[in-house]
Structure 1
């Protein structure tokens, strides 16, 4: 497998600093966050993130992004855009950007729960994804749907309801063990087998459920909090074993939103940890 970092999780670094740091640590690739954002100080994951490429003026940024990525010796695991599937004009732009950069794949976002009847949202988004599949084929890339809590595709089963029958060469799924620990968890191997050719990409992060208050009935109020890869509730080693058993050999992109450890130390240790797990799985299965 090949390892990359999604720049949503590297808010302190400029794009130039991000590629330099990740290349020096030995990562194989980078996944650029693409969105317009509010500015903030200090930089945060979602606002003021210095390693984000703006959607406004994206086309003008592409030569710079391509140049610094190539010069650092990193590959592109994909593009992490935040364009809703229903926003066809901007979906077209990020598909074209993925083709221009040679990234191969780009994420489009799904409707969140609470924005209407689930069945109607699913039907409308399936129509959007059919249109996107055609446009992705035109550009020679793949549009990705991420399994994400509080959206209409929190699970592999829901993603198959959305994508089944569309060309898996041009629409696929990002399986994310961290998101699934919050909502939508299904046995990983069974989920991979269910997705089959639609399993196009993997994101890795970890989460812990913590008691953060008291409910009105007096019981504990639980909240999911991002945790270091080594410490969260998701069993990343078992996850790697399931990926290997299924035969997945593609990108594993880390988006660690924990803040216990400083950024450079965090990314460095995450790579060491994933390589360690992969080696253990290989030895055990030899």
Structure 2
């Protein structure tokens, strides 16, 4: 098993600082966030994130991306792109960049579903898009990854398996993500891993919790999910990892902790210690 940190969760550090801190703490790899983002005076997970590589000009940054990890002992577990599977020009650019870097995997997400869309419409379009993604990924020797994610047609293992069934698992895989499943798509982890079989290609760990947000005049209690530390969320990481690994999974475990209870350096170190503790 190898352990990586997703740089969406390290917004205060530059790529060089990410590599330095992760190597010092004993991580095995880094998972780079690749996207054009809004500027921000204060870095945050989603805007002004210093540890992100821009999609614009990506090709000109490939040497820098190689050099920043060279000699550190870290591997690049994957590139985490934000170009959706139907955004073909950008997806192809990302696939080519992933191959040029010698990285094995690239996240190619499904688009969020609009309220006025029907399941058949979204399914047919997404299936056609991912058939194209699979072909381009195969042409370049890369594996494209769908992350189980709420508010998409692939929120659960069973729903995404229906979408990609029949595609080559050497070039299409699934990211199982325990935190996203708190929002939508929760299935028993062991069965989900067994169901996905060779498509289970990557694992993300973060955690979330449903919390009361208010009470309506008629007494109905409203709830919303929020990101919390690995230790505090609804998913028991120890049980989760036991069920994931029970089917033979022995790949990357990438942490993407979007909580802010602890300072970033302490948060990263504690996450690695806790993940290893839960696997022991």
In structure 1, distance between residues paired with 2:217 and 2:4:
43
After TM superposition, the structure 1 = structure 2 runs for residues 103-142 of structure 1, keeping only pairs within 5 Å, are 103-114=103-114, 116-142=117-143
Q: TM-score, normalised by structure 1?
A: 0.96
CA distance 1:216–1:119, shift in 2 (3 Å): farther
The alignment status of 1:180 with 2:181, answered yes or no, reads: yes
Residue of structure 2 in register with 1:66 after alignment? 66
Tell me how far 1:70 sits from its aligned partner. Answer: 2.1
Residue of structure 2 in register with 1:162 after alignment? 163
Give the alignment's Cα RMSD to 1 decimal: 0.9
**Cα deviations by residue, 1:151-181 (Å, 9 ceiling, x for unpaired):** 1110001111110001111011000000011
Tell me how far 1:121 sits from its aligned partner. Answer: 1.0
Tell me how far 1:216 sits from its aligned partner. Answer: 5.3
After TM superposition, the structure 1 = structure 2 runs for residues 122-271 of structure 1, keeping only pairs within 5 Å, are 122-215=123-216, 217-271=218-272
SS of the equivalent of 2:238 reads helix
**Cα deviations by residue, 1:41-75 (Å, 9 ceiling, x for unpaired):** 21010000000000000011111011111232210
SS of the equivalent of 2:70 reads helix
Residue of structure 2 in register with 1:22 after alignment? 22
Query: 1:28·1:75 contact (CA, 8 Å) conserved in 2?
Result: yes
Tell me how far 1:215 sits from its aligned partner. Answer: 3.5
Tell me how far 1:117 sits from its aligned partner. Answer: 1.6
SS of the equivalent of 2:137 reads helix
Residue of structure 2 in register with 1:101 after alignment? 101
Q: How many residues align?
A: 279
Query: 1:37·1:54 contact (CA, 8 Å) conserved in 2?
Result: yes
**Cα deviations by residue, 1:5-42 (Å, 9 ceiling, x for unpaired):** 00000000011111111111000000000000000021
SS of the equivalent of 1:71 reads coil
In structure 2, distance between residues paired with 1:215 and 1:140:
54
Query: 1:37·1:47 contact (CA, 8 Å) conserved in 2?
Result: yes
Query: 1:111·1:121 contact (CA, 8 Å) conserved in 2?
Result: no
SS of the equivalent of 1:193 reads helix
